[in-house]
């Protein structure tokens, strides 16, 4: 897979089938769009191209208090596109000036002149251009005017839930990681660096690694205790993770992310860890003593062990 960023010389080819979007999370709805893209590519012997944006438009158009948290970083999206089998990803630099470009100018100046296309595949509700003025009807008009085929992917629902990034963000905000992962088509995850902590967990028999997310924009699910799978140094381990203020230890406003990995005792300070969420166990709560907290952690681990048995 080739990756080209705006400003680099694009590889023009008229024989391309293109899709455009932010693709946050690359959920099952996005995967349906890309599946249709690849079907047309194979049937017509074309090059498959995904055009996306960096940073996410919402991070530019909204102030920092209104801006959404992201389901996937650019690096995570590229990893997924490569896995799926896309030929070329063209990353456009999204700025306030870029947001002022009209829908037609965007298609003509970028897709037609810089990339080239015979076909385009877009979701039914995709809007583009200044003030989101472009829609599927205007796209059909551009297709007739500039000579390319237009293909629509209809709304995608599973068990009555609309498969889109907003629905998934809402599930994660509720702690419903299993439903979010179902709509994504894979476990929701984030990557972080192991940073120093107070090693309090070691004193009660549950040593933890303190994780600092690599991206400040990545969405972290609601506070609570989760059953997780962690990848570190190329190895995978099950564990349980707490996201929260650690109210039993001290009064904190800061949110800590701590993971206890089962059967793993290496010092991984400074290492990068990938954490996949499997199941929400319980809300974080304040215990009357460290003994009561320890007793609950033992129960949490037993629950995790039961879930591991179910997986096998």
Stretch 4-14: mean pLDDT: 85
Angle between helices 177-184 and 165-173 (to 10 degrees): 160
Q: Which residue is associated with the tokens 């591991």?
A: 308
Find the mean pLDDT for residues 176-194.
97
> Residue 200 pLDDT more than 70?
no
Radius of gyration over alpha carbons of the chain, in Å? 22
For 55-156, strand residue ranges (E) read 88-93, 119-123, 149-153
- pLDDT of 199: 62
Mean pLDDT of the chain: 92
Q: What is the per-residue pLDDT for 204?
A: 64
Residue 311: predicted pLDDT: 79
Element (H, E) at 50: strand 47-54
Mean of pLDDT values over 56-60: 92
Over residues 94-108, the mean pLDDT reads 94
* Distance of alpha carbon 259 from alpha carbon 236, whole angstroms: 13
Selected catalytic residue, list 76, 229, 258, 279 = 258
Q: How far apart are CA 289 and CA 177, in angstroms?
A: 29
Q: In the chain, where do the E strands start and end?
A: 2-5, 16-20, 47-54, 88-93, 119-123, 149-153, 157-158, 161-162, 189-195, 209-213, 224-232, 235-244, 256-261, 272-282
pLDDT (average), residues 58-83:
90
Mean pLDDT of 251-270: 87
In percent, the amount of the chain with pLDDT more than 70 equals 95
Query: Quick count: other Cβ atoms within 10 Å of Cβ 283?
Result: 11
Domains in the chain, CATH or no CATH each: 2-162 (3.40.50.620), 187-311 (2.40.30.30)
**Tens of pLDDT, residues 275-289:** 999 999 999 988 878
Tell me if residue 258 is catalytic: yes
- Distance, in Å, from the CA atom of 129 to the CA atom of 22, rounded to the nearest integer, reads 13
Where residue 11 falls among pLDDT bands split at 50, 70, 90? confident
Over residues 76-84, the mean pLDDT reads 97
pLDDT at 133: 83
Higher pLDDT pick, 246 / 49:
49
């Amino acid at each position: 897979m080739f990756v080209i960023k705006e400003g680099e010389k694009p590889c023009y080819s008229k024989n391309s089938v293109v899709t455009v979007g932010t693709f946050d999370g690359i959920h099952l709805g996005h995967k349906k769009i890309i599946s249709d893209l690849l079907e047309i590519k194979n049937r017509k012997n074309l090059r498959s191209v995904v055009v996306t944006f960096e940073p996410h438009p919402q991070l530019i158009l909204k102030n920092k208090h209104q801006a959404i948290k992201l389901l996937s970083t650019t690096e995570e999206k590229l990893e997924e596109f490569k896995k799926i089998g896309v030929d070329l990803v063209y990353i456009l630099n999204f700025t306030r000036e870029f947001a002022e470009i009209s829908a037609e100018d965007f298609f003509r100046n970028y897709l037609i002149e810089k990339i080239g296309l015979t076909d385009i595949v877009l979701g039914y509700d995709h809007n583009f251009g200044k003030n989101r003025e472009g829609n599927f009807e205007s796209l059909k008009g551009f297709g007739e005017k500039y000579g390319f085929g237009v293909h629509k992917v209809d709304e995608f629902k599973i068990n009555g839930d609309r498969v889109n990034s907003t629905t998934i963000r809402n599930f994660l905000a509720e702690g419903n990681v299993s439903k979010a992962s179902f709509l994504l088509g894979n476990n929701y995850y984030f990557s972080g660096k192991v940073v120093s902590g107070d090693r309090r967990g070691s004193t009660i028999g549950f040593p933890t690694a303190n994780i600092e997310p690599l991206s400040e924009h990545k969405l972290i699910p609601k506070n609570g205790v989760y059953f997780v799978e962690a990848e570190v140094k190329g190895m995978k381990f099950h564990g349980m993770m707490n996201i929260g203020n650690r109210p039993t230890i001290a009064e904190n406003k800061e949110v800590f992310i701590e993971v206890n990995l089962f059967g793993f005792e290496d010092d991984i300070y400074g290492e990068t860890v990938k954490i996949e969420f499997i199941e929400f166990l319980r809300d974080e709560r304040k215990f009357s003593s460290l003994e009561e907290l320890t007793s609950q952690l033992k129960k949490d681990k037993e629950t995790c062990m039961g879930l591991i048995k179910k997986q096998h």
